[in-house]
Amino acid sequence: MSIKLGTNDLAKYPFLNEASLYIKDTHFDLLEFDRSEMSFIINRSFEKIESFIKNNETRHYYKIDKFEIEILTFLASLLILKSASIDIITKKFALFESMRFEKYLIDDLKNSFKDETKRLILLKIFKEVFKIDVYAETKTIELYKIRVPEYIRRSILFHEQEWKLINRTVKDGYVYLDVSEIVRLFRNELSLLIIDKIKNMKSITFPKQVLIKSQKLKNYWDSVNKKTDVDIVNKKSVTPPCIDHLYRVLDTGENLPHSARLLLATFLLFSGKSIEEITEMFKKLPDFNERITRYQLEHLSGKTGSSKKYFVPSCEKIKMENLCHETNVCKGIINPVQLLGKRMKI
């Protein structure tokens, strides 16, 4: 059976292939964005980006418009971001946009247990976007399931105990997940997909209106980066929540994924801890090896090997790795080291 997506689905999920096909079919030329009746699309796209970037706000954008408008808004946003080419902004946009899609997905999935057509559409989306077969269990229970290896590949990026395979329902080679769990599991991939879409746009002649907006974005970005330098000097030092969380995980003697170790190590080095002190902390890791840890810390600090120093990853990057535990203290910062206050020198 071939499943046809409704226009409402395309409005909610404009990253799908069928949405691109729609644009192709209508022979839409990118330069048409310069036409006056298109300016509201361009403005809408820009406002959305701005709201994501400046206010960390997605709420206003949950309501969806006509599918043509949504598809074009998505396309225009990608164009603006491509033209601006600021990595951090691209990533932040991707993250917020994927959180928005996530919300639709959750609602749709919840309704899909009773509605087979809807279910088939969603499973098709999973197949197309994440290249994964998701199955629904609808007889006695309303759960989705995926194959064990597919689950593990994603879940090991999360370090919370409840994602560990042992705390899941595992049966006959499948892991059972409820709606919000399955969506959460794919959040990273959804945002990576959007980033890829932007990265893979090639040889484009940007419409003038797009260039104007992207310049605005660049100006904003420059101003923010200058400001942070000044801002920070007066702040008092706080432990970033993401780092605080890692301390706690470390204390329980649990293992930390590679990305978490990297974050903790670079952060501690940046904050002036010695290799000895950090090695001491890492002793709590179950697979601790003193010699290797020391070697790697020296490498990170730039003492050995290439002289390149590793910097503390940005909040965006940390969010992508699912290591962010954002609280109020994080407002307006782009890197956890900003919370170190006076010691910060960019």
Nearer Cβ to other proteins (85/180): 180
Give which of ligand SF4, other proteins, none residue 287 binds (C-beta under 5 to 8 Å, depending on kind): other proteins
Q: Which is nearer to ligand SF4, 293 or 338 (CB)?
A: 338
| 84 near ligand SF4, rule: CB under 6 A | no
Here's the x/- map for other proteins, 122-151, by CB under 8 A: it reads as -------------------xxx---xxx--
**Which C-beta is closer to other proteins: that of 140 or that of 203?**
140
Based on the shown chain and the rule CB under 8 A, indicate whether residue 172 belongs to the binding site for other proteins: yes
Q: Does 330 bind ligand SF4 (CB under 6 A)?
A: yes
Q: How far is the CB of 142 from other proteins (least distance, A)?
A: 7
In the complex, the smallest distance separating the C-beta of residue 275 from ligand SF4, rounded to whole angstroms, is 23
Which of 171, 227, 248, 303 touches other proteins (CB under 8 A)?
Answer: 171
Per rule CB under 6 A, is residue 242 in the interface with ligand SF4?
yes
Among 38, 99, 156, 329, binds other proteins (CB under 8 A): 156
- Measured at the CA of 264, the angle between CA 263 and CA 265, to 5 degrees, comes to 95
C-beta closer to ligand SF4: residue 150 or 326: 326
CA-to-CA separations, 4 to 18, 106, 121, 122, in angstroms, rounded: 9, 20, 8, 11
The rounded distance, in Å, linking the Cα atoms of 171 and 110 is 22
Query: CB within 8 A of 207, min separation 6: which ones?
Result: 30, 31, 32, 33, 34, 79
Amino acid identity at 28: F
Residue 336 interacts with, from other proteins, ligand SF4, none (CB under 5-8 Å by kind): ligand SF4
Contact window for ligand SF4 (CB under 6 A) among 4-12, 173-181, 234-242, 286-294: 234-242
Asked if residue 176 binds other proteins (CB under 8 A), the reply is yes
CB of 301 to ligand SF4, least distance (A): 21
3-class DSSP string for the chain: CCCCCCHHHHHHCCCCHHHHHHHHHCCCCHHHHHCHHHHHHHHHHHHHHHHHHHHCCCHHHCCCCCHHHHHHHHHHHHHHHHHHCCHHHHHHHHHHHHHHHHHHHHHHHHHHCCCHHHHHHHHHHHHHHHCCCCEEECCCCCEEEEEHHHHHHHHCCCCCHHHCHHHCEEECCEEEECHHHHHHHCHHHHHHHHHHHHHCCCCCCCCHHHHHHHHHHHHHHHHHHHHHHHHHHCCCCCCCHHHHHHHHHHHCCCCCCHHHHHHHHHHHHHCCCCHHHHHHHHCCCCCCCHHHHHHHHHHHCCCCCCCCCCCCCCHHHHHHCCCCCCCHHHCCCCCHHHHHHHHCCC
Q: Does 274 bind other proteins (CB under 8 A)?
A: no
Out of 85, 237, 274, 289, the only residue in the binding site for other proteins (CB under 8 A) is 289
Please, which of residues 291-320 interact with ligand SF4 by CB under 6 A?
315, 318
Cα–Cα distance between 102 and 108 in angstroms, integer? 10
Choices 88-96, 104-112, 211-219, 282-290 (CB under 8 A): range interacting with other proteins: 282-290
> Shortest Cβ distance from residue 328 to ligand SF4 (Å)?
10
> What is the nearest approach in angstroms of ligand SF4 to the Cβ of residue 174?
33
| Binding flag, residue 170, other proteins (CB under 8 A) | yes
Q: Residues in the site for other proteins, rule: CB under 8 A?
A: 141-143, 147-149, 152-153, 155-156, 161-162, 164-174, 176, 178, 254, 257-258, 261-262, 265, 282, 285, 287, 289, 292-293, 296
Q: Residues in the site for ligand SF4, rule: CB under 6 A?
A: 240-242, 315, 318, 324-326, 330, 336
